[in-house]
Structures are given as structure tokens and as C-alpha cells.
Amino acid sequence: MKVSVLGAGSWGTTLAVLLSNNGHLVTLWEHKRSYARILNKTRENKFFLPGIKIPKEIIITNSLDESISNQHMIVLAIPSQFIRSVLQKFGKRNLSNTTFVSVAKGIEKETLKTVSQIIKEELEVDDSNIGVLSGPSHAEEVSRKIPTAVVSASNVKATAHLIQAAFITSYFRVYSSVDLTGVELGGAFKNVIAIGAGIVDGAKFGDNTKAAIMTRGIAEITRLGLALGAKPQTFSGLTGMGDLIVTCMSKHSRNRFVGEQIGAGKKLKNVLSSMKMVAEGVETSRSVYQLASQNDIEVPIAEAVYQILFEEKDPSKITYDLMTRDMKPEH
């Protein structure tokens, strides 16, 4: 297939290389013209993915029009808060034969929409044109062909299978799902819990605390997901518990890193200004807090993360408040 990957960060570059190695004709779009030139010259993304060579067969461009014209598949590897503005530049064109695959893990602030909802709203395409690829998959490992398992999801089974077939390799195993809502929410919400797990690391609370945050965190993800129409089994799978584990535990996790720095006493604005990449969980924590409030769903850990990030509440005091809530059954 002719496939474009929009976004030349670490994940976009990794997936472009994977798709090219799978025999697809790949175009990689970089929004900065100067960096697109560097990528073309060096064939290496030294800023985001050093050490991984970009095959000469991949077309690297700064032209959005070149990237979206006559493509069978367009992969959106752009931070979720910027996807709408990029889609608005597509203009009026027939996209009925193009499959859109989101690999972003966030919820848009203000609108509280998932990426698939943004695609449908901005491009007016059918459900059969929209899917996501999500799961425990750090670019740093996938790019080095470390065995990884993820999920392709769409409301239409055939679309989920199309995405599955496009990406699957001997080291990148892709399962399929028709629970688009659950897969998207799991991937987005786990970043919020991962910030909480990082706060635990930064505040030196210990493994017991981290296990509690992760386990009760998946309970919150599931509660909110069910209220929004997701299937419960999705959250015990790769895009729920699987993605939560890797994001809460890994040294590669940007969201865990943000939490760790906050837990150690640093200010959010200073932490974010020091990072090269986007930590989706920061803005998503605001969205999750609002979604839970609107649907009257109890998410005490997500609420605590929101209060620490945006109201500068003390992590130790918040932890005490969580531990001394009213007694409850586990399930």
C-alpha cells in the first residue's frame, strides 16, 4: 500500500521504518521544513530516535499535500492536542478510499474527544475509514525489533483486520479489536495513572504504593470506560493493563518521568520545558477529570494527579487523603 506517516517523532519514524520494511511505499511527513531537510540528508532521526537508519525508500517531506494525496493509509503520529489543526489543513478532497490510523494516546482538551472522533468530525469519513493502533510499545524498543504486541481497533472489523495486516511482523505482533472506544480510552487514561506512578517514584514511597496506584488505576480506567461505552475485557488486555504496566514502570516513559520530577518537588512548567517530547498525560489528566465529573464517575487517583499538576497540591498530603478515604469493597 501507499502509506503516509504524519509526524516524524520517535514513534512516527519507528512506524515508517516498520511499514517500509513490510513492503509498503512510505512517505514520512515532518512539519518543520528545516528538520525534514536534515532527515533527508542524514537518513537518521538523531533528535528523537538516534541510531536507527531511515531506509532510502522512504520519502521524507515537509509538504502536507504530497503526504496525503492518493494514499491508501494515513497514520497520525502527531500529539493528540495538535491533530485537529493538522486535519483542518487537508482541505476538501475525496478521502473515501483512505484508512486513517491514529497512534496518538490522548483526549483533546476542551472538546474531550478522542482522536477517532476528531477524525470523523473534521474529515467527515465513515467508521470504515477510521482505526487506531495502540498498546505497550515504546519506540525505543520497537525500532530495535524487540518483540512487542499491540492492538489494531476499529468499529468495523474489516478495517481492524486491514490495519493488523499492514503492521504485523515477526517482532511486532498485532491483535485486532472492534472496541475502538475502549482501546482509545485505555491508551489515553493510562498516561494519567503513569504520572501518578511517577509521583510515587519521585516521592520515594515504594513498590507497595506503586502497585496500589497501578491496580486501583486500572479500576478507574475501567469505570470511566464502561460509562463511555467500552467493553470491560479491553481494559484487562494489551491496551489497558498491558499499556499501563509498561508506562508506569519503564525508563522510556515520558509520563512517568513527568510524575517523578513532580514527586521530587519540581514545578510542572519547568519539567515540561526541559523535555524534547510531549507527555500526553498532562493535558489528558485535565480531560479525564472533566469527563469523570460530567459522567459522575469516581476517579480519585486521576483527580489527585490533576490536583497535583494544576492546583499544585502536595503529593504527600494528597496520598494521605487517598489512603484515608471511606472504607470500600474492592469490587
Nearest by Cα to 27 from 52, 59, 57: 59
Question: What integer is the mean pLDDT of 299-320?
Answer: 93
> What nine digits make up the cell of 307?
490536583
> What nine digits make up the cell of 166?
499492514
What is the residue range of 73's domain? 2-178
Residue with cell 489515553: 188
The per-residue pLDDT for range 149-208, each reduced to its tens digit, is 999 999 999 999 999 999 999 999 999 999 999 999 999 999 999 999 999 999 999 999
Question: What integer is the mean pLDDT of 43-67?
Answer: 96
The CATH number assigned to the domain holding 212 equals 1.10.1040.10
Helices (H) and strands (E) in the chain, counts: 15, 10
> What nine digits make up the cell of 250?
519503564
Please identify, among 131, 154, 178, the residue that sits at the C-terminal boundary of a domain.
Answer: 178
Which three-class secondary structure state does DSSP give residue 125? coil
| pLDDT of res. 163 | 98
Note whether 36 and 141 are same-domain residues: yes
Q: How far apart are CA 230 and CA 180, in angstroms?
A: 8
| pLDDT of res. 331 | 87
Rg (CA), the chain: 19
- The answer to the question of residue 244 being in a domain is yes
The per-residue pLDDT for range 246-303, each reduced to its tens digit, is 999 998 999 999 999 999 999 999 999 888 778 888 999 999 999 999 999 999 999 9
Distance of CA 84 to the CA centre of its chain: 15
Note whether 17 and 99 are same-domain residues: yes
- In this structure, the number of other CB atoms found within 10 A of the CB of residue 321 comes to 14
Asked if the model's pLDDT at residue 92 lies above 90, the reply is: no
The active-site residue out of 92, 190, 210, 266 is 190
| pLDDT of res. 121 | 95
Which three-class secondary structure state does DSSP give residue 25? strand
Sequence-distant (≥ 6) Cβ neighbours of residue 257 within 8 angstroms = 198, 275, 279
| pLDDT of res. 53 | 97
The per-residue pLDDT for range 106-132, each reduced to its tens digit, is 999 989 999 999 999 999 999 999 999
Top-confidence residue, 76 or 253: 76
> What nine digits make up the cell of 23?
513492503
Starting from the edge strand earliest in sequence, which strands make up the sheet with 148-153, in order? Answer: 59-61, 25-29, 2-6, 73-76, 99-102, 130-134, 148-153, 172-177
Q: How many structural domains is the chain composed of?
A: 2
Distance of CA 124 to the CA centre of its chain: 23
- In this structure, the number of other CB atoms found within 10 A of the CB of residue 196 comes to 31
Note whether 235 and 263 are same-domain residues: yes
- The answer to the question of residue 331 being in a domain is no
H-state helical runs in the chain: 10-21, 33-42, 64-68, 80-87, 115-123, 139-142, 157-167, 180-202, 207-227, 243-249, 254-263, 268-273, 281-294, 300-310, 315-323
Please identify, among 178, 204, 231, the residue that sits at the C-terminal boundary of a domain.
Answer: 178
| pLDDT of res. 46 | 95
| pLDDT of res. 271 | 93
The per-residue pLDDT for range 208-244, each reduced to its tens digit, is 999 999 999 999 999 999 999 999 999 999 999 999 9
Q: Is 308 left (phi over 0), alpha (psi -120 to 50) or beta?
A: alpha
Distance of CA 24 to the CA centre of its chain: 23
- The answer to the question of residue 328 being in a domain is no
CA triple 238-177-98, angle to 5 deg: 120
Q: Which amino acid is it at 285?
A: S
The CATH number assigned to the domain holding 46 equals 3.40.50.720
Please identify, among 126, 158, 178, the residue that sits at the C-terminal boundary of a domain.
Answer: 178
| pLDDT of res. 275 | 86
Q: How far apart are CA 201 and CA 252, in angstroms?
A: 14
CA triple 36-42-43, angle to 5 deg: 75
Do 54 and 43 contact (CB within 8 A), yes or no?
yes
- The answer to the question of residue 280 being in a domain is yes
| pLDDT of res. 70 | 93
Assess whether 190 carries a catalytic annotation: yes
Q: How far apart are CA 100 and CA 74, in angstroms?
A: 5
